[in-house]
Amino acid sequence: MAWMWAQVALSTSWARIAALQTVETYAFAAYQQIVHNLAMHGVFEQTIHRGYADAWAWSGHRSGTIFLASWFYQLNPSSLGLARFQIFTILAGVIPAMGLGRQGLKHPVGWALGALIYLGTPPVMAMAMQDYQDLVLALPALLFLAWSLRAHWAWVPLAALCALMPREETTPLILVMALIWPPGGWRAPHWRRWVLNLGLCVLITAGWIAISDAMAPAADADYQMPLSNAVGGLGGTGPVIFLDGWSGLESFYLDLAWPTGVWGLLNPMPMLVSGALALFHMSIPAGHAVDRSWVGHSHHVAPGLAFGVVASIGGASWLLSKVAALRVSGTARLAGIAGLFVLLFLTIYTRFGVFSQKNALLLGRYSPAWTHPAWALAAQLPPTAIPIVPVRLSLVVADRRVAYTLNGSLRNKAPGLGLAAGTHALIDNREPDTLRRVQSMPGATLLAEDAPFELWSWQVGLPDPSWTPEEPQGTKIAPEYRGHYLQPEDIPGVPAHLTAPAANSGSPSPSIRIPWRKEKEQEMGPPGPAPRKQKARPNAPIPRPATGSRTQRSSPPKR
């Protein structure tokens, strides 16, 4: 099962990378250049993205797995190599998943049960091959922690440290997992071991916080940690939290619980945590790099998915143990267990096609249906070249020590230099302003062409004659290039880029009222007659404030 899963993930991932159709190739390119420079040059910086601090706490994150990624990246320094690292790290989560099944069922069948649930959960595949971010590694790490809490106590410190590595979002979840996953189960917990687990997790977490803050002090960072930002803005200062992500309930959030998540209903504690994390994800407003789509930034739900998988394995183990304990013939018990496995397989199969995997067993050979011509042109660059490319082509030069994006990082990372900061340009000739600017460079020479893309060079050391201190307005951006394919989803292995529904489209989004918070006091205006009360129309949307706190609603609805 693991081998088949890996082949599907690798072939699909390569199809999307070759077509430059990953989740935001710009962010993937910045992440790869950070890993590349750390692995190949020993420096922690990137020049592709106009943002991100050039320090360990990149974009405000505290990521320890980025050092592990850089070590493995040396084996295959490429975009596919980085994708392989993520895919095989997610695949490694099948080992603690099998261990959880064995612990719950107390029978060798538990190994297969844990593997089937983990590998058969469609969002696990989406985590592995869609959104290349360090937080997705929280999925196998938290499963390792859950297994260790019911295994020998010596595993707990290592598992807690692994669970802290992906990103700062997992820090409080270490203690949550230790609290809701007692050794021996809730019916007969081993109290001393439970306390020991909590103590070890607290000790490891406190030490990690101290070390990481010493390496990259939060007070000195250019970016606030996104988790702190999200928690601090949750509900503002009022008692109402709006669930802006409610519109993605059926198309996104229910995939976390269906089909394998239904077994988690029999194991409610981790399932409640998974649901709470989903509600927290729903409460984050649009525009905070949080998408409610499997073809977008879905890595933020990885920790909630981990708790859901733990709940599913525990619930399925409990149900199978009850079936096995029935006082019926051995043949009937075997038929019942086989029936549950068949039901689980069928429910998985009905959902597995929603992510447009390239379902092919490639036996280690990668043959994407279509490769973007920018890859071949970038391969012709000299090893010492400093390329400048449009943002949408940034991934093809992410394996360079220095590379800039023309409409992204060039002004920020090389101020005042313009094209003189680089040695080559890979451009789209359907953008006439860019083409004229490259042609105006002293000694501009066309080196290679694969229409509509061109590779240029110029005389190094001379200024850019077209550079201006202000960003030119109205620059034409060419439409996305897909060869002879009309839509991205026409490329085998590439999913449709669905547009998420706008918040509050049609009707107001649901909200949660926190009873211990008070309404924010309205500013007192000049004295005058009290306004007349108006009757609320039955189906009229409740207005939300244009500025200020998001929690100032008149008459919050009872939901």
pLDDT for 529 equals 42
Give the pLDDT mean for 474-479.
78
Same domain (yes/no): 36, 123:
yes
- The pTM of this model reads 0.84
pLDDT tens digits, 410-428: 888 888 898 999 999 999 9
- Which whole-number Å values give the CA distances from 53 to 45, 86, 345, 408, 464, in the listed order? 8, 23, 45, 15, 27
- Which whole-number Å values give the CA distances from 129 to 10, 276, 539, in the listed order? 8, 25, 43
Torsions phi, psi for 528 (to 5 deg): 180, -175
Helix (H), strand (E) at residue 139? helix 138-148
pLDDT band at residue 192 under the 50/70/90 scheme: very high
The domain boundary, picked from 437, 468, 499, lies at: 468
Same domain (yes/no): 41, 83:
yes
Q: Is the pLDDT of residue 321 over 90?
A: no
Domain count, the chain: 2
490 lies in some domain: no
Q: Is the pLDDT of residue 482 over 70?
A: yes
pLDDT for 531 equals 43
Same domain (yes/no): 105, 191:
yes
pLDDT for 405 equals 93
pLDDT for 500 equals 52
pLDDT tens digits, 30-72: 889 999 999 999 888 889 988 766 655 555 577 788 888 999 9
Same domain (yes/no): 153, 287:
yes
533 lies in some domain: no
Same domain (yes/no): 116, 71:
yes
The domain boundary, picked from 355, 384, 416, lies at: 355
Write the single-letter amino acid at 49.
H
pLDDT for 58 equals 53
Q: Is the pLDDT of residue 248 over 60?
A: yes
Higher pLDDT, 468 or 231: 468
Q: Is the pLDDT of residue 488 over 70?
A: yes
pLDDT for 498 equals 61
Same domain (yes/no): 194, 124:
yes
Q: Which pairs from 107-110 meet CB under 8 Å and 24+ separation?
A: 107/321, 107/324, 109/320, 109/337, 110/317
Same domain (yes/no): 196, 281:
yes
Range of the domain at 268: 2-216+244-355
Same domain (yes/no): 256, 404:
no
Burial 511-535 (b: 16+ CB within 10 A, else e): bebeeeeeeeeeeeeeeeeeeeeee
> Percentage of the chain surpassing pLDDT 70?
77
Same domain (yes/no): 388, 302:
no
Cβ–Cβ under 8 Å, residues 91 and 6: yes
Highest-pLDDT range among 77-81, 228-232, 259-263, 292-296: 77-81
> Percentage of the chain surpassing pLDDT 90?
36
Give the pLDDT mean for 533-543.
39
Q: Is the pLDDT of residue 193 over 90?
A: yes
- Which residues on adjacent β-strands are paired with residue 427? 454
Average per-residue pLDDT for the chain: 80
366 lies in some domain: no
488 lies in some domain: no
pLDDT for 526 equals 44
The domain boundary, picked from 468, 497, 525, lies at: 468
pLDDT for 185 equals 86
Give the pLDDT mean for 459-467.
89
Q: Is the pLDDT of residue 306 over 70?
A: yes
Q: Is the pLDDT of residue 353 over 90?
A: no
523 lies in some domain: no
429 lies in some domain: yes
Close Cβ partners of 129 (under 8 Å, ≥ 6 residues apart): 9, 12, 13, 16, 83, 86, 87
- Which residues on adjacent β-strands are paired with residue 448? 455
Same domain (yes/no): 174, 266:
yes
How far apart CA 243 and CA 223 sit, in angstroms, is 25
227 lies in some domain: no
Which runs of consecutive H residues, i.e. helices, occur in 245-360?
Answer: 268-283, 302-324, 330-351
Lowest mean pLDDT among 350-359, 406-415, 428-437, 518-527: 518-527
CA proximity to 146, closest of 183, 119, 110, 187 = 183
Higher pLDDT, 251 or 505: 251
Same domain (yes/no): 37, 126:
yes
* Encoded tokens for 291: 């998408």
pLDDT for 548 equals 38
360 lies in some domain: no
Same domain (yes/no): 173, 86:
yes
